Structure 1
Amino acid sequence: MNISGNTIFIPGSTSGIGLALALALRAKGNTVIVGGRRTELLERIAAAHPGIDTVQIDVADPASVASATKQVLAGHPDLNVLVAMAGVMHIEDWRDPASFLTTAESTVTTNVLGPIRLIAALVEHLQTRPDATIMTVSSGLAFTPLKVTPSYNASKAAIHMLSESLRLQLAGTSVKVTELEPPSVRTALLPGQEDNELAMPLDEFVAEVVDLIEARPDAEEIQVERVKYLRYGEARGDYDEVVRTLNHSDPHGE
């Protein structure tokens, strides 16, 4: 993905990493469309950042995905980048099925079916563009599990393998598949995470991501330095130690 000159749709970008990345990419000379469920947040973003387009979308609702992507393409027929950012994360206790089943189902619907629906809605169009990108968003937890978020870990592992598979299928087309792999970042994804000193500051994360995109436009995986400890534990041979360290040091790891 080139760092500038794109038209980029980022569903799930009304806050946190998504919004910060949307603003950073717009500052680099891209047209950016922000998507989200809450119209009041979309209106606030549009007012605060003239030039950013917005669209209401709920990736957990197939009809909403179909309607929103149709709206985006009608207004932006030159769309060439999808960043499938939408995601949720919940603490779960699998010793008590009544306490986790609903959140587990919601996590899979948003984090796995959401990107699948978005890609399905846009992949034909993207193949008509001369230089297109599908950016998926997994996590360092796709490679090293945080024990209190089983469904989130599994959903992001699924996104990693989906990305790997799509890259193989779309080889030879104009569409590149890039996987963004965040570490823990100071956002509101979990309670208290915004103030977690062990998490990476949001502005530092997004700045490093933008630098990586600019330096390596053909990168298949975008990994800030902080995520590599989780990403490559198995390859280094210290996976068990990485799992212990993560779950001992994280405030949600009990």
Structure 2
Amino acid sequence: MNISGNTIFIPGSTSGIGLALALALKDKGNTVIVGGRRTELLERIAAEHPGIDTVRIDTADPVSIEAAAKEVLARHPDLNVLVAMAGIMKVEDWHTPESFLTSAESVVTTNLLGPIRLIAAFIEHLRARPDATIVTVSSGLAFTPLKVTPSYNATKAGIHLLSESLRLQLADTSVRVTELVPPAVRTALLPGQEESEFAMPLEDFTAEVIALLETQPDAKEIQVERVKFLRYSEVRGDYDQAVATLNAADPHGN
């Protein structure tokens, strides 16, 4: 995608990576719409960052997605970029179903069904635009798993192959599919992650992503240098070592 001149909707961006990218993309000359569940956060973002529009959306709720899509397109008919940012991560113990089933279902609903429903709500509009982009968000854990987050790993692996498949299907349209592949970043995705030395500082991650978008506008995947240890472990032939290193260095997912 081009780095400027877009109208971009980023559901799930009231904090963390989503908000940081929303602000950085606004600074690059884009119109940005931030989406989220909590009205008070949306109001604060709108007050603190004039020029950013906000829309309430719960990406775990298909009715909310449909309503938000109509609202966004009514206010921003020139929308040409959808960033399916929303996601949750939960530590799970799969020894008994009582320990993990509810958690796993909520992770799958948000991380996998959420982006699918978002894309379904916007795809006809995006196909009608002369130059459009869908940005999906997977994870380095789609390629090298963290033991304590099985459902998260699985949904992000699903997002990776969904992205690959959509790129093939939409090759005959004006819609590009770009996959953002983050490493662990210092956000509140898990308790303690904001202070984790293992995780990449949010400011560094955001700056590197923006630089990659500027220099590689046609990239299929946006990979900061930090994520390549996980992304290419199987390609390098050291997958088992990478899994052991990841889980020994960061057993709680931080």
Letter of the structure 2 residue corresponding to residue 15 of structure 1: S
Which residue is 1:149 aligned to?
149
Query: Offset of 1:198 from its aligned partner?
Result: 1.1
Q: Which residue of 1 aligns with 2:22?
A: 22
Structure 1 runs not aligned, ≥5 long: none
Answer yes or no: is 1:138 the counterpart of 2:168.
no
| Aligned match of 1:230 | 230
**Counterparts in 2 of 1:1-254, with a 5 A limit?**
1-252=1-252
What SS does the corresponding residue of 1:82 show, helix, strand or coil?
A: strand
Alpha-carbon contact 2:55-2:72 (below 8 Å) kept:
yes
Amino acid at match of 1:139: S
CA distance 1:178–1:253, change in 2 (3 Å): closer
Cα deviation 1:11-31 (Å, max 9, x = unaligned): 000000000000000000000
* Residue-by-residue CA offset, 1:84-107 (whole Å, 9 max, x unaligned): 000000000000211111010000
CA contact (8 A) 1:246 1:253 kept: no
Q: CA RMSD in A?
A: 0.9
Give 3-state SS (helix, strand or coil) of 1:166's partner.
helix
Verify the 8 A CA contact 1:2 1:217 in the aligned structure 2: yes
Q: Report the TM-score when normalising by structure 1.
A: 0.99
CA distance in 1, matches of 2:197, 2:24: 23
Q: 1 CA distance for matches of 2:71 and 2:53?
A: 11
**CA distance in structure 2 between the partners assigned to 1:204 and 1:110 by the alignment:** 26
Is the 2:148–2:251 contact (alpha carbons within 8 Å) kept by the matching residues of 1? no
How many Å separate the matches in 1 of 2:250 and 2:33? 34
Partner Cα separation in structure 2 for residue 16 and residue 99 of structure 1: 27
Structure 2 CA distance for aligned equivalents of residues 4 and 84 of structure 1: 18
SS in 2 for 1:35: strand
Structure 1 counterpart of 2:145, which letter? P
Provide the aligned length of Structure 1 versus Structure 2: 254
**8 Å contact 2:138–2:160 — kept in the other structure?**
yes
User: CA separation in 2, counterparts of 1:4 and 1:129?
Assistant: 16
1: CA distance, partners of 2:202 / 2:251: 18
Letter in 1 for 2:3: I
Which aligned segments of 4 or more residues in structure 1 are displaced greater than 4 angstroms?
A: none
Q: What one-letter code is carried by the residue in structure 2 that aligns with 1:219?
A: A
Please say if residues 10 and 85 of structure 2, whose CA atoms lie closer than 8 Å, have aligned partners that are also in contact.
Answer: yes
Partner Cα distance (1:59, 1:223) in 2: 25
TM-score by length of 2: 0.99
2:128 alignment partner, SS class: coil
